[in-house]
Structure 1
């Protein structure tokens, strides 16, 4: 676990940006209209992309305290949405205007749907944030280190954050151009 602990926050950032860009690709490029539960998942995922990036840039030792609630709540909504699509365990939601939440735009291998992809991203983010928390030094040691090094200079961590975001966004832009 210690080996992945150093990069776990960057993996969480990558998962958040892939999920955010992917959901925008589905709706803005492919023209798929999100249902209301998809919107709730977006409301919980989109801020994670920014919160994790800012936490990494600021070298914030408490990133997990304000990012983990979003990812855990998102995982719960995604689980509910996935079970709504794939099982009869839950009653169908009340009628609403727009796309029903049981609609499957994709169904890869018989079980991979958009809520499943979102659930996977939320779980990866949650797992990486917990891993980072468990492998990090004590909060007091990190506070002393942060006070000694204000983090104003641009280091490898800043380059990594920009590279992750840039690569994901560029990849989806290229995919959109190739599609049309």
Structure 2
């Protein structure tokens, strides 16, 4: 049996990176969803950047993931990937399409919103010029999808326990407070 598929830990068992990822994949996915959700709200509500139509579709797919992952950790739902993966995979498709449009690899489609879908507020010169808002969303959706696929492939996912619930709560509260604090500073 593959090491990533079966995890039986004792107090003396050292865990490797793959085992650690399997144990914490729900938390890593929650952190990615929280950062993406908070980031998009920061861009629109604090910086005043108006989201385009495709940005709204990405938000529609990302925002519920934060709640689903938090509740999945809190209730120790080991099959949370069943609800999360469909949304995150659709998010990958929308984000990739939007990113290719912003990078002018595919022709821009007409958007009905106030902002054209090929427009991007982030213009970093030089080697990091590939970083655009749809790219950030794409990375978040990919991280969430990989973590949920890892959870789906793991046969014996250990129970979350009280510490995992506390950790999930800390992730949500700390991320929310950091975005609120950042918003108050600007």
TM-score range, shorter chain: 0.7 to 0.9
Q: Distance in 2 between matches of 1:52 and 1:3?
A: 18
Query: TM-score of the superposition, structure 2-length normalised?
Result: 0.84
How many angstroms does 1:95 deviate by? 4.9
Q: Which runs of 4+ in 1 moved over 6 A?
A: none
**1:105 and 2:121 equivalent?**
yes
Q: Distance in 2 between matches of 1:45 and 1:4?
A: 21
How many angstroms does 1:92 deviate by? 2.0
Gaps of 5+ in 2: 1-17
**1:126 and 2:145 equivalent?**
yes
5 Å-filtered alignment, 1:6-17, equals: 6-17=23-34
Task: Considering fraction of residues, name the structure with more helix.
Answer: 1
Gaps of 5+ in 1: 146-150
Residue 148 of structure 1 is matched in structure 2 by none
RMSD between aligned alpha carbons? Answer: 1.8
Query: TM-score of the superposition, structure 1-length normalised?
Result: 0.87
- Given the superposition, is the C-alpha separation of residues 111 and 176 from structure 1 closer, same or farther in structure 2, using an over 3 Å criterion? same
Q: Distance in 2 between matches of 1:114 and 1:169?
A: 20
Q: Distance in 1 between matches of 2:55 and 2:113?
A: 14
Q: How far does the alpha carbon of each residue in 1:109-132 deviate from its partner, in whole angstroms, 9 at most, with x for none?
A: 211010000000000000111112
> Which of 136, 151, 157 in structure 1 is aligned with 2:164?
157
How many angstroms does 1:134 deviate by? 2.0
Query: What is the aligned residue count?
Result: 166
5 Å-filtered alignment, 1:28-177, equals: 28-88=45-105, 90-108=106-124, 109-137=128-156, 155-177=162-184
Residue 39 of structure 2 is matched in structure 1 by 22
How many angstroms does 1:80 deviate by? 0.2
